[in-house]
A and B are shown apart, each in its own frame.
Chain A
Amino acid sequence: MFYSRQTSLRLHEEHLATIQLWGRLEQSIAARVAEAELDALLRNCSAALAEEVTRHFEFEERELFTRLAEAGDGDIAELLTEEHETIRSAAHALRELLALPQPDAAARRQLGALGLELAERLVAHVQKEEMALLPALEDLLDEETDRELALAYANS
């Protein structure tokens, strides 16, 4: 997809990074890598997600979904917001599990399952945003607004 808006391009680049990181996690779980290696990767994913949840999600909800709703796509904005909420809640659960000092076998299983669930949710969410949100921004943002939003996002 060719994006003429800086805001779309920034979000798209972050989507690519998200898919690559969580794809690695999926592959590692499937390949049954060593516990220490998986823990390190899960911590990376969790840290990246914390950043994504606060910065990327909040920016979208504050600046973009409102515009999407005003343009008549309120249903898509609501769907994406609901997915954000679900991902936030799963991300919180992941952080709590990773914070356990000595996770037992059940907690480990839960970690793996939660990692896979988050990977699937994030990929599906990215798919929807790439399909419905980013193309719509091409219409919704004029050049000046795009510049202001891109700058605000870079400084956030």
Chain B
Amino acid sequence: MIPITAGARGRLLPVSLPMRYFGAAAAFQVLAWALLLASADAIVEFAGGLGPVFAALHLLTLGVLAVTAVGASLQMLPVATRQPVRSVAAAKWVWWLFTPGVLLFAAAAADYRPQLMAGGALAVLAALGVFAWLLFANLRAARGMPAIRAYGWAALLSLLGMLVLGMTVVTHYERGVALDRTAFALAHLLLASYGFMGLLALGFSCFMLPMFALAPPPSGRWASVTLALAVAALLVALVASFFGRHPPALALACLLGLAAAIAHVAMMERSLRSRLRPPLGAAFLLVRVSWGCLVASLLLGGGIALDWLPQRLVVLFGVLLVPGWLLTFLLAVLQKIIPFLASVHAGAAGRGPALVSSLTPERTLAAHRLLHLAALGLLVTGVITGLVAIVQAALALALAAAITFAAFFIFVLLRLRGTKGSADVLQPSN
């Protein structure tokens, strides 16, 4: 019988722990797209600053991407590093601080109220600070998979830098502290997206994608080379951000990032080609689209930095980076990981572990993929053409995709609850 309320002694967490993070991500995604749909006309011209677009962007980055990264790291990192989570209670506290913090931060930003926003930012800072400690404790004692550990360390450093820069920008909004807001915001964006989220995504890919595809993991040497290129790109971009956004330096950063992205994709494709079972699964379509968006974001970033492309395409850069690469990748991983984790915990009533296929609503997921990809394609078209009607249609599709994804998550929870007999593993223990 599986000890479903296992504590920190083992590497298998209680199912309610990762699931609460994935549930929050599903809910925040619906909220983010709904807010964007309500302010569609502001997207095409968005150039930073508080308001609904800023709020929706942070609902996506903090509420969906970071929340998913925390939940997935808590369950998957111990498996990769052979170290249990240091404190399950702390992992629960991260969620209790993070979720209301993101809500307050986004609501205040949408309503142009920086004082309230600071309260949300502090809660998020505290939550991510505790998570950073958990990540640090795990990586410090980790064994095996040196390349993945190196990605973890680089992501942890990016997280700390992102938090410091983010709080500095919030202080600027709240107290009017003088600083080069554009430089700080750019550095914050780079550390949050390509740094924390991006490096975690690349690192976990080396472990999780081969696992899902039953393929050999990529070579540790190539994974290290890719990481070195990515970190070099990030460092050059950060220096360039603070020193006048020097165009050739930004372009060099994009070039290094492009080399890292291409090396990563080539390495992963090589690994997937050696898989033991021919069907890859439809989730890998989303993975491949996300890789395409990563490469496109770096090409576009370089073109904009060198003034080869118009500055207004900076919104397209954001679309390719956040919903294109990071969100699409995470949704692909969640389509695999949520039923997988549920199946691990679904057999406690003495009927044996549930089949992953019985916890995977294929039609719902197919509808989600179709809606998400159509939304992404239309959003790219709308932003390029500047036609608000196309942007609105894209956002409506994205909202429908997010609702469909939430339906998938609820289906899995209900099936999980249905397999549990009297034991209700979905009730958080605090």
Which residues of A are in contact with B by a Cβ distance under 8 Å? 1, 16, 19-20, 23, 26-27, 72-76, 78-79, 82-83, 85-86, 89, 117, 120-121, 123-124, 126-128, 130-132, 135-136, 138-139
Contact = CB atoms under 8 A, between A and B. Distances in A.
B352 A86 contact: yes
Given A1-B217, A16-B276, A136-B82, A76 B355 contact: no
Contacts of B353: 79, 82-83, 86, 121, 124
Interface of B: 1-3, 6, 9-12, 79, 82, 84, 143-145, 211-212, 214, 216-217, 276-278, 340, 343-344, 347, 352-353, 355-357
Contacts of A121: 353, 355
B82 A124 contact: no
A136 B9 CA distance: 15
A1 B356 CA distance: 24
A16 to B, nearest CB: 6
A138 to B, nearest CB: 6
B328 to A, nearest CB: 24
B339 to A, nearest CB: 10
Contacts, number: 81
Contacts of B356: 120, 124
24 contacts: A1-B216, A20-B276, A23-B276, A27-B278, A72-B9, A72-B84, A75-B2, A75-B6, A75-B9, A75-B10, A79-B12, A82-B1, A82-B353, A83-B352, A85-B352, A86-B353, A117-B355, A120-B355, A120-B357, A121-B355, A123-B214, A123-B277, A126-B214, A127-B214
Q: Chain B contact residues: over half helix, strand or loop, or mixed?
A: loop
Contacts of B276: 16, 19-20, 23
B344 A23 contact: no
A49 to B, nearest CB: 16
Contacts of A128: 344
Nearest to B208: A131
A73 B11 contact: yes
Q: Chain A contact residues: over half helix, strand or loop, or mixed?
A: helix
B218 to A, nearest CB: 11
Nearest to B2: A79
Contacts of B212: 127
A82 B277 contact: no
Contacts of A75: 2-3, 6, 9-12
B206 to A, nearest CB: 11
A1 B2 CA distance: 27
B12 to A, nearest CB: 4
Contact of A73 (B10, B278, B343): B10
B11 A78 contact: no
A82 B344 CA distance: 10
B358 to A, nearest CB: 9
Contacts of A79: 2, 12, 344, 353
Contact of B11 (A20, A89, A127, A132): A132
A82 B346 CA distance: 12
Nearest to B4: A75
Nearest to A136: B82
Contacts of A136: 82
Contacts of A138: 143-144
Contacts of B84: 72
A73 B347 CA distance: 18
A114 to B, nearest CB: 12
Contacts of B143: 138-139
B352 A89 contact: yes
A89 B340 CA distance: 22
